[in-house]
Structure 1
Amino acid sequence: MVMPALALTAASLDASSAEADHLLGSLELFERVEIASLAGADRVPTLAAVMAKTDPDAHDAHVVAIADVAALPILTLDRPKWEKASQAFENPCTSE
């Protein structure tokens, strides 16, 4: 599972407690979880393209950009939220 760093940042802002931050920080200890950062200028054009096409906030744009680059679906309980952003790409990130 790939978890965008900005998605974790948004979750931390929403949860706003030391316990929640500790749990979010512990996710990287799982063997099959990779935290995707904004490291490297090569990711900037993809993030900018997502933001230009769909007008999401930076947290959501990072999720879509990482899903597109990694060719992975977005795991969500709120599918409609991600439909517009996902449809901006040739291979949409959400699936049935």
Structure 2
Amino acid sequence: MAEKVNNFPPLPKFIPLKPCFYQNFADEIPIDHQTLVRRIYHLWIFYSITLGVNLIACLAWWIGGGSGVNFGLAILWLISFSPCSYVCWFRPIYKAFR
């Protein structure tokens, strides 16, 4: 059996960090549950995209005369809540179905 190399998150080669997790739905998740786990994964991606849209909206609001505090908090939420939600929410679900 070949050694499993971590492949998530996919990072560009110029970043000196390596991926932290191995994730392969076809190999690790039983066929009966692959659709459900993929839907949950897409829900996590949607959550992360929503945080990115929140960042853009807070930037637009700040440019339009609003408070810059909301933009700072949006950056903080995107940087901290996306990885934390993966580790504390999606990864335990993935391991449970594995």
Larger strand proportion of the pair: 1
Larger helix proportion of the pair: 2
Normalising by structure 1, what TM-score?
0.28
Normalising by structure 2, what TM-score?
0.28
